[in-house]
A and B are shown apart, each in its own frame.
Chain A
Amino acid sequence: MSRVEFRKDLFADERSDDLNEVGKPTIRQDIIGHVRGTTRFYDDHLFDGLLHMRCVRSPHHHARIRNINVSGAESMPGVRRIVMPSDVPNNLNTLLSLIGFGRDDEPLLSSAKVAYKGEPVCAVIADTERQARDAVAAIKVDWEVLPHVLDVEQAIQPDAPVVNETYPNNLFDYGRFDHQKLRFGDVHSAMQRADKIVEGQYQMSPIEQAPMETCGAIAAPETNERIVCHTATQALFFSLGTTAKLLDVPSSRLHFIGGTVGGGFGGKVDSITEPMAVLGALLTGKPVKFHWDREEEMQVGAPRGAERWVIRDGVMNDGSIIAREFTGYFDCGAYTRLSSYAIQKGVGHLPGPYTIPNVAANVYCVYTNRTPATAMRGFGITGVDFAIESHMDKVAEAVGMNPIELRIHNAYRDGDMKAHRRVAKNTALIECCQVAAQKSNWQLGPQYASASSLRDGGSTERAAIPETAVDMVGKIGERRSSSIAASPAQGTERVPAGQASELLSPLPLQHADMQIEPSRVGHTVKATAPLANAAGAPPPAATAHRETTQPPATQVSTPVSQQSPVSPPESLPASSTGSYQQPPRDQPAASPPEAPAVKPYEPQERFNKGMNRPGAARHLINRRRR
């Protein structure tokens, strides 16, 4: 039997526990429906004449499509429509184009080649699911099998097959480089001072999110030229925006309903079933369901990607880790999806919850001929945490130290500088270590049992950004011509020591009435937070929102931080904007709430055209013409 206790004694002076509703064990709002079986998941909306859509999928890891013969399938009983790649008006997308990150690299249905086993090339819409399956089996695809690559380190060799033509080096681009760098201090010289070097390599295999409800969507024409889509998505407007972009449909014509989902765990962000179902409804004028069966969910639905991490620590005999170096490979599969972003999240997390004065990392987002990877619970962190915490035990053994004491010895504390050059606050690692140790009677020495996250952090040394060794190794494309080492290189340039920059704060309130009184939130709020006052005056200008100032650390001889996380080569189109604008990069130091930047409505150009393109909503065009 499990037991839960609340340690209200800890951090008690930072918190009041007298709130009315927050903190109460209120019964879940949705539970009555769950236990009665009346909760409506996406598939619990019944439609007369519902059609079923299924995909023809690649049996090969990597192959060119010579020809698709659908003649037999077209005339089979119940078949309403064969859906080809040419039916998708704007058949190239990348998920994060909605926030302006990365280039479009993935078709909804592939027309030229497939880059993973299970990649869809066309689809059948039929009266029953069985008829759709039969017709899928009758479609003949003439494949030209290509060499494939499945291992991340082989994929970055000069002679590896190109998995994804948008990223011809099999690596995502991070500014000027083919990997995301992290540099803090000088790892190479610190390693030479270290008493011991501890190395390890860690591997996590792909993991399926396995929600009990598989991914799916039902789309149906509404009465007013719109399409309603019931969906299991984890991100309603993400899916709506992706659908609008791929199908070249104004977002106003899409009515998405969801919000009640049978588990997600990250597996329902990819927004594939929604554009497929909506496309089916546009092409047939009928309600269409597209869902993954369990087999597709396991092998075609994107998993948590595999990660390989190599860690090298320089350690002193007293247990102080003075240098830590990472080489990381995210296996993102054939298309980017969310792996590129997971890496930046992972890099911001390094070197784990420890204060280490010298840190370097090279992390690669590698394309291989396998199912694309995506988000899962612990996005970008679970794999590297497995590596770091397994490694900490190796370090403890190497220096002969109690593993928990080693963690507390190196733990980050309030005011410490993190390797991504921002100050840590609100830390509580040490207290968690102490409480867990108490609970299982794991003895700690007195100095570890009495340590605190609130003390001994933020000293001049621990809060400083050190002089940092940087290098220019691994520029985009270099690896194609010669093999270069994957691990962080010895620095060839130095950036001077510097001060911490401000953290980005939430943008100021639109209206003073939205600001809850600090006395009602139940915990300490920094006095400089934007406060509302009765007159609705603007929040204090200097503190309401501070854009990151360029820190001295990045003032290097080489050009500083690129203009956007991805600078597409000239030959490729810039990432599409989808239906959302990227938030403005340069916010004013403080925008007074009464002076919002009102912009007239500007329809996106892409939505004004394309209605006459093949496959785009013929029945709706006809209706519009009447």
Chain B
Amino acid sequence: MAKKPISFVLNGQDTSVFVEQGGNLLDELRRTVGDLSPKFGCGQGTCGACTVLINGEPQLSCLVLAERVEGQRIDTNGGLAEGPDLHPLQKAFVEGFAAQCGFCSSGMLMAAKALLDRNASPSRDEIAEAISGNLCRCTGYEPIIDAIVVAAENMRRRTT
């Protein structure tokens, strides 16, 4: 099948790859670019494990045509930490025991990041709404919501 060259900015890095025409962004990120942080949970756009940010907006990468991201800015959980230092969201997930199997964590973190980027002090309801497209089968969601609350507090403290 014909391949198409595209360029985009992945986690701040200029990235150019040949993608399958008609291929989805999730497959291309994982197999072609080698960023394995977004996960395949359903391929139907219903579980959120593949969530990445495209120009800051959370998107389901399994439903996005890879060709469509030409020239755009993509952020994944693979780029969330600053080198060895965990992002405050990641840190809060660790300390709050907000993951069990960890399969939904990358998508969940990106949905949470998109929320905190536009709303530094979300309510619990706003958090629940922001992650409502991300399924978790292990935790019952509450530890995840708690962790996002803690991360938001820590990030506000850091900026003030």
Using CB atoms and an 8 Å cutoff, list the residues of chain A in contact with chain B: 1-2, 27-28, 30-41, 43-44, 46, 50, 128, 210-214, 261-263, 265, 293-295
Contacts and interface: CB of A to CB of B under 8 A. Distances in A.
A382 to B, nearest CB: 16
Given A37-B36, A265-B137, A293-B43, A212 B86 contact: no
Nearest to A2: B142
A10 B142 CA distance: 28
A210 B104 CA distance: 13
A36 to B, nearest CB: 6
Contact of A35 (B38, B41, B86, B101): B86
Interface string B93-134: 111010111111110010000000000000000000000000
Interface residues of B, number: 42
Contacts of B31: 46, 50
B41 A214 contact: yes
A210 B109 CA distance: 21
Interface stretch (B2-10, B53-61, B74-82): B74-82
Given A35-B86, A36-B90, A294-B42, 9 more contacts: A32-B86, A35-B94, A36-B77, A38-B78, A41-B39, A43-B40, A214-B42, A261-B101, A294-B47
A36 B80 CA distance: 8
A30 B102 contact: yes
A31 B137 contact: no
21 contacts: A30-B102, A31-B99, A31-B102, A34-B93, A34-B102, A35-B99, A35-B109, A36-B86, A36-B90, A37-B38, A37-B77, A37-B80, A40-B36, A41-B103, A44-B36, A212-B41, A261-B101, A262-B39, A263-B103, A294-B43, A295-B44
A212 B76 CA distance: 18
A211 B44 contact: no
Interface of B: 1, 20, 31, 34, 36-44, 46-47, 49, 76-78, 80-81, 86, 90, 93-95, 97, 99-106, 109, 135-138, 142, 146
Contact of B105 (A1, A2, A37, A295): A37
Nearest to B108: A35
Contacts of A50: 31
A55 to B, nearest CB: 16
In this complex, the member of B36, B43, B47, B109 whose beta carbon has the largest number of chain A beta carbons within 10 angstroms is: B36
In this complex, the member of B31, B36, B49, B102 whose beta carbon has the largest number of chain A beta carbons within 10 angstroms is: B102
B137 A212 contact: yes
In this complex, the member of A28, A35, A211 whose beta carbon has the largest number of chain B beta carbons within 10 angstroms is: A35
B103 A262 contact: yes
Contact of A27 (B77, B78, B80, B94): B94
A212 B103 contact: yes
Contacts of B138: 263
A128 B102 contact: no
B94 A38 contact: no
Nearest to B36: A44
Contact of B99 (A34, A38, A210, A294): A34
Given A34-B99, A35-B109, A46 B34 contact: yes
B99 A212 contact: no
Contacts of A32: 86, 94
Contact of B103 (A27, A31, A46, A213): A213
A501 to B, nearest CB: 40
A28 B97 contact: yes
B102 A211 contact: no
A482 B128 CA distance: 58
B49 A212 contact: yes
